[in-house]
Homo-oligomer: A and B are copies of this chain.
Amino acid sequence: MLRSRRPAPAARQDTLCARYAQVRAASLALAEPLTAQDCQVQSMPDASPTKWHLAHVTWFFETFVLERFEAGFVPFDPSFRALFNSYYLAVGEPSPRPQRGLILRPTLAQVKAYRAHVDEHMARLLAERGGDAELAALVTLGLHHEQQHQELMLTDIKHALSSNPGRAPYARHWPVVRVQPEPSRWIGHAGGLIEHGHDPARDGDFCFDNETPRHRAWLDPFEIASRPLSNGEFLDFIEDGGYTRPELWLSLGWDWVRAGARSAPLYWRREGACWINHTLQGSVEIDPHTPVCHLSYFEADACARWAGARLPTEVEWELAARAVADPRSGNFADRGAFHPLPQPGAAGAVPLQMFGDVWEWTASAYLSYPRFAAWPGAVGEYNGKFMCNQFVLRGGSCATPAGHVRASYRNFFPPEAQWQFSGLRLARDA
């Protein structure tokens, strides 16, 4: 899609301007509940400070759009080119990731000024040249990129707040949902020779390069659960000795359990007879009907094995997700819960909660599709170079902006990652 050269129609131009404004405002809104000190902190190398996120997404527009398309481009601050580069080696050597929390200058106020400056120049550029298809494609990419960082802002600040002895909440608008859902059941699929990957007719125009090209794949018959696995089901796994039985785990997973002396998902802690969960809304008692989250791939895989099932492959998952009418309708970040929620309804042929709530680990290693080609140029470093030692997750989470994901969307994390809202849905051979 990034390679399209046709001029964008005028109506689409207006939409892009509006969409630019909306996405950019959403980032600032997410930082609103935080102090400047909160925005400075990096709690682990995997996570980044809020201030860094706010600057980096701006850097993306400045470096990949303004620098290239704006006549007489002058950088806001030349030192930002390296400072806020994440990993694009074609742009130069980025500043070291584990030290993002030490970036004291620019201050948060200066980063906000940087945002305003770039937004002003972008608005002018979009007004003047928004019809340029390549420009529009890069801006669209930049907005999807910013939405990805909106999710990371939430997961990263959650980790920072949880590392803080006081464990302060991020938000205080918990949408109380106490429901008694019907149990999960199996939904069957016949398999066969299918088409897989991004389908513009159903997934919309935009996608990342790693969702392409659409290609054929053979699929044996399978069944997939109508719901994500719940806290209650995961507690059964724990109480059945899940974390103490090596036969349930991958070898690396068992090493990971032992090295970290792990006995529950991230953010769970025992207080007397209760399991307490640190959430973005503060500490709450574990609700058994809520989808379990903050699992590593190792935990998802072990729990599926314990349940006599397995994780779905990403091909299976995508096929199942095609039954969902509107991928925008789930529990996404816009709803303000910032945590998975139990869902009351009963599933028919359509699985529930495929979109939103929790990213679902699949059994698929993150690799290229047949005939895959990365985007040309520096943005080609976006996805392809990470195709090693990661697993695919699907469906978006309660921290994902609504409308950001689609059935073909591929998220990916290393198997030990826990700080995303990652859960699982069971599958089995038919």
Contacts and interface: CB of A to CB of B under 8 A. Distances in A.
Interface stretch (A10-18, A58-66, A95-103, A129-137): A95-103
Interface stretch (A143-151, A199-207, A269-277, A382-390): A382-390
Interface string A176-201: 00000000000000000100000000
Interface residues of A, number: 63
Interface stretch (A326-334, A364-372, A394-402): A364-372
Contacts of A95: 165
Interface string A147-178: 00000000000001101111010000000000
B36 A102 contact: no
Interface in A80-101: 82-83, 87, 89-90, 95, 99, 101
Interface string A92-121: 000100010111111110000000000000
Tell me the number of copies of this protein.
Answer: 4
Contact of A104 (B105, B168, B363): B168
A250 B388 contact: yes
Contacts of A217: 218
Nearest to A384: B250
Given A41-B102, A365-B367, A250 B164 contact: no
A249 interface: yes
Contacts of A36: 35-37
A29 interface: no
B388 A253 contact: yes
Contacts of A363: 367-368
Interface of A: 35-41, 43, 51, 79, 82-83, 87, 89-90, 95, 99, 101-108, 160-161, 163-166, 168, 193, 215-218, 220, 246-247, 249-254, 297-298, 363-365, 367-368, 370-371, 381, 385-389, 415, 429
